[in-house]
Structure 1
Amino acid sequence: MNSIAIVGAGLGGLACARVLQLHGVDVTVFEQEASAGARPQGGTLDMHGDTGQVALRTAKLYDEFRELARPEGQQMRALDPRTGEVVIDETPEGDFRPEIDRGQLREILLGSLSPGTVRWGSPVADVSRTGDGARLTFADGAAHDFDLVVGADGAWSRVRRTLTGVRPVYSGVTFVEFGLDDADRRHPALAARTGRGTMMTKAGGQAIVAQRTSSGHIRCYATFYAPEDWAAGLDFADAAAVRAHLLERYAGWHPDVLAYVREHDGGFAHRPLHVLPVPHAWTTTPGLTLLGDAAHLMPPLGVGANLAMLDGTELATALATASSVEEAVRVYETDMLPRSIETAKACASGLHDLLSDDLGSMAA
C-alpha cells in the first residue's frame, strides 16, 4: 500500500483525504494548527456547479452540503458610493452557486474522515526528496518518509518551496477586513442595505464589500490599490486609528456607505493580496505535488476554494485508479495545471474589474 501524506487541513487537503479513504487508500493529514477550532475559518463561499459541487458529489458529501447551503446568499447588490442608492439587485434563478460558511464546509469534511486522520499540532519544518518519494521533517525533529507528499498548505507552502521554489508576490491590492456582529438586531439599516448575500460599492480604485454569513454576521472588506508598505506606521491594534484612516481614504462617499466602517464591531485585519506568477507550472516530480493555493494562489474572487476541492478530489481519484503514484500525479497535473493557469488569468482580470468604476462588473 502506498503511503500518502497531505500537508494542510484546508478544504482541498480534506477533500483529497476523504476521497482517498472512500477508495480504501491510507492517508494522513498533517496540520500545524493545534485543533480544528484554533482560529476562525473565514466567511462565506459560493460553491460552483462545475467545480466545488462536482468535488462534493465525488466525495459523497453533496447532501450534507445542501442541508446547510443558502441559495438566497447568491443575491448581489451594488450601491452607488456617492448616493448610497441600490443600483443593481440581482438573485440568479435556481441555485447554481449556493453559499455556505467556510467553517461549516470544513466541519462536513472533517466529520467524514476516519478518527485520527488529521494530526493536529504537526508543523512541517522541512520537505525533501528521497528517491521516488519524499520526507517530512517536523518541528519536533521527527521525520517520516512517504511515497507521495501533497502540498495543500496554502499561500506560503513549504512543499512548494521544495517542488518549484516559487513564492507569492504582492498583487498591488490590499483588503482591510472588519465586520458587523448580530447585524439584523444591532445594525438593522446596514443589514437591510446588504440584503441576503453580497453588497458591493466602488469608485476610484476603491471598493467596500459586505457578505452575510449564516450566523447573522456580516463580513466586510475595504479594498483598494496601495503600495506594499502603505500601512507602515499604522497600528492595526488601534481600531480607532484604522477607522479614521479608512474614513479619510473614502472621503466623499455617502454616509450610508461609510456606516459600514463607522459601525463595525471589533478590530480591523490587514490582508494584503498575494498571488503566484502566471503561469506557475512544473515538471511532474516523483514524491511531490500541490493543490489549491499552494499550486495556484489567485485573488479571492470566489474560485479558490472551489478549485482546491476539485484539485483534491481529482488527485485522489487518480491515485486510487492509476497504475502507479507517479502516473496518477502525471494524470492529475496534466488537467490541473492548464485549468489553473486559465483561471488565474481570469482572476487577474477580475481583480481589475473589482476596482473599476463600472458597477455592472461585480467580480466579488
Structure 2
Amino acid sequence: MNISIIGAGPGGLTCARILQRHGIPVTVYDRDPDAISRNQGGSLDLHEEDGQLALREAGLLDEFFALARFEGQEMRMLDTTGRILARHLPEEGEMIAPEIDRGQLRDLLVRSLAPGTVQWGRTLESVSGPSGGPRTLTFADGTTVETDLVIGADGAYSRVRAAVSSATPQYVGISCLEAWFDDMETAHPELAELVGEGGAHIADGERGLFPQRNSGGHMRVYIMQRVPADWIAANGLSPDDTEGIRAYLRNEFAAWSPEVRRLVTDNDGPYVDRPLFALPVPHTWEHSPSLTLLGDAAHLMPPLGVGVNLAMLDACELALALARSANLDDAVHAYEKSMLPRSIEIAQRLEGGAEDLLAAHDPDEIGQFVTGEARS
C-alpha cells in the first residue's frame, strides 16, 4: 500500500506512528516549513478512553505521562467578581485527562517516526483521480504524487475533504480572541492565584473567559463573545491593533471586577482572532476505497474538549483497520463504519453547544460539576 497522510497534526501523526509500528510505510505531507515554525496553540487534555488509548497503541503512553501536567486537571468555575463557585482538584494519581502543550505532543509524535516520514513545506492544492484509485496529489510547488490511499488529516479547511464532500465550515455565531501571558508566577502572580494550576471558566451570558495554564509558566486566555465573524473590522479595528482591541474589551467587560478584567487586558503581546466554525451535522460522504478523513477534516465541532481526542481515536482505528484488513477497501469500510456513527452522535449532542461557553453558571450546573458529571 502507498499511503499518504495530509496534515502533521496530532491525528495525522498518530495514524502514521501506528502504521509504522505495524510495518506499513506511510508519508505525511504538511504545509509548515518545519515542526517548530508555527506556534501550535495551547494545552490539550488527553482522555483515558480516546487520546490516551491511541498513545498506548502508538507505544508512547509512558513518554506522554513523563511530559504531562497532572496538576493541569484542576478546573474552577468563577463568577465575574472572581469568586470561586466550584473547584475540582485532581486526586493523587488521577489520570483521567492530564494536560500537555500542543507543541510538546507534536514533538513527541514526530520524534517517534522514521526519519523522512514527514515532508515539510508541502502545501496540498488538490486531490484528483478516480474513486477506486490511484489518486494524484498536486502541491503548490507544482509537484505531484500518485498514491493508493489519501488520508485527510488537514483540519477545518481540509483540501482533501473537497474531493468527497461539498460541505464547508459554518460560523457558529461566537468568536474567540486568544491572549497570551508569560512568566505567570513573577509577572502575573494575582492571575496565577485566580486561575490555579489548570483552567477556569467565567461567563455572564453574553461573553465568557477560559484561562488555561500552559507549561513553562505561560497561560492562554480565550476571550469569547457573541459577535459577527468580522467584528474587529466592523468596529474600525484591525487584528494587529492591540491597543484598540484592548480598549474595546475594557468597555465590553466593564461590569466585571477589575481583578477578572485583567485576564482580558494584561496580556503580553497581540490578540489572535479565532472565530468558531463547525461542519454541518450530520456530515458524511460517499465511500471511496482510496480516500478518507479523520479529525476536524471529518467532523469539525465547537471547541468543547473533544476535538483532539476524537482525531487521535480516529487515527488509531484507521491505522489498525489498515493493519488488519486484506485490502484498502475493507479497511476504509471498517473504519468509517465505526467513526461516522460515533462522530455524528457526538456532533449532534454538541450542536449549538458553543453557547455554553457564554452561559452563566446555574446551581444545577455547579452541582453537576462538583459530582464530576459536567467534567465528564
Q: Which amino acid aligns with 1:319?
A: L
CA distance in structure 1 between the partners assigned to 2:98 and 2:324 by the alignment: 31
Q: How does 1:323-334 map to 2 (within 5 A)?
A: 323-334=326-337
Give every structure 1 segment of 4 or more consecutive aligned residues whose post-TM-superposition deviation is greater than 4 Å: 361-364
Contact 1:77 1:200 in 2 (8 A): yes
Q: Which residue of 1 aligns with 2:96?
A: 96
CA distances 1:152-179 after superposition (whole Å, capped 9, x unpaired): 0000000001111211010111101102
Contact 1:133 1:286 in 2 (8 A): no
Shift of 1:144: 1.4
Contact 1:170 1:275 in 2 (8 A): yes
Contact 1:129 1:287 in 2 (8 A): no
Q: How does 1:1-364 map to 2 (within 5 A)?
A: 2-81=1-80, 83-93=81-91, 94-130=94-130, 131-232=132-233, 233-358=236-361, 360=365
Contact 1:319 1:329 in 2 (8 A): yes
CA distance in structure 1 between the partners assigned to 2:166 and 2:249 by the alignment: 36
Structure 1 SS opposite 2:129: strand
CA distance in structure 2 between the partners assigned to 1:127 and 1:285 by the alignment: 13
CA distance in structure 2 between the partners assigned to 1:63 and 1:236 by the alignment: 40
CA distance in structure 1 between the partners assigned to 2:302 and 2:138 by the alignment: 31
Shift of 1:133: 2.6
Shift of 1:91: 2.0
CA distances 1:169-217 after superposition (whole Å, capped 9, x unpaired): 1011110110210111100000111100001111022101100011110
CA distance in structure 2 between the partners assigned to 1:55 and 1:90 by the alignment: 26
CA distance in structure 1 between the partners assigned to 2:266 and 2:320 by the alignment: 48
CA distance in structure 1 between the partners assigned to 2:165 and 2:76 by the alignment: 41
CA distances 1:32-69 after superposition (whole Å, capped 9, x unpaired): 11000110111111111111011011111000000011
Q: Which amino acid aligns with 1:89?
A: R
Structure 2 SS opposite 1:266: coil
CA distance in structure 1 between the partners assigned to 2:172 and 2:163 by the alignment: 23
CA distance in structure 2 between the partners assigned to 1:337 and 1:142 by the alignment: 32
CA distance in structure 2 between the partners assigned to 1:199 and 1:225 by the alignment: 19
Deviates more, 1:354-363 or 1:277-286: 354-363
Contact 2:281 2:351 in 1 (8 A): no
Shift of 1:224: 1.4
Q: Structure 2: where are the runs of 5+ without partners?
A: none
Shift of 1:357: 1.6
Shift of 1:348: 2.6
CA distance in structure 1 between the partners assigned to 2:297 and 2:50 by the alignment: 18
Q: Which amino acid aligns with 1:281?
A: T
CA distance in structure 2 between the partners assigned to 1:129 and 1:225 by the alignment: 42
Q: Which amino acid aligns with 1:194?
A: V
Q: Which amino acid aligns with 2:176?
A: F
Cα root mean square deviation, aligned: 1.4
Between the aligned residues of both structures, percent identity stands at 50
CA distances 1:104-161 after superposition (whole Å, capped 9, x unpaired): 1111100100000000011111111234231101112111111100000000000001
Contact 1:79 1:201 in 2 (8 A): yes
Shift of 1:346: 2.7
Deviates more, 1:347-356 or 1:197-206: 347-356
Structure 2 SS opposite 1:317: helix
Shift of 1:349: 4.8
CA distance in structure 1 between the partners assigned to 2:111 and 2:349 by the alignment: 34
Contact 2:212 2:220 in 1 (8 A): yes
Q: Structure 1: where are the runs of 5+ without partners?
A: none
Q: Which amino acid aligns with 1:296?
A: H
Residue correspondences, number: 362
CA distance in structure 2 between the partners assigned to 1:255 and 1:345 by the alignment: 38
Contact 2:172 2:352 in 1 (8 A): no
Contact 2:183 2:218 in 1 (8 A): yes
Structure 2 SS opposite 1:267: coil
Contact 2:82 2:194 in 1 (8 A): no
CA distance in structure 2 between the partners assigned to 1:228 and 1:238 by the alignment: 17
CA distances 1:238-280 after superposition (whole Å, capped 9, x unpaired): 1110001111111211111001122111010110001101100
CA distance in structure 1 between the partners assigned to 2:336 and 2:49 by the alignment: 18
Deviates more, 1:92-101 or 1:18-27: 92-101
Q: Which amino acid aligns with 1:129?
A: G
Contact 2:172 2:354 in 1 (8 A): no
CA distance in structure 2 between the partners assigned to 1:115 and 1:281 by the alignment: 35
CA distance in structure 1 between the partners assigned to 2:330 and 2:343 by the alignment: 20
Q: 1:74 to 1:349 in 2, by over 3 A?
A: farther
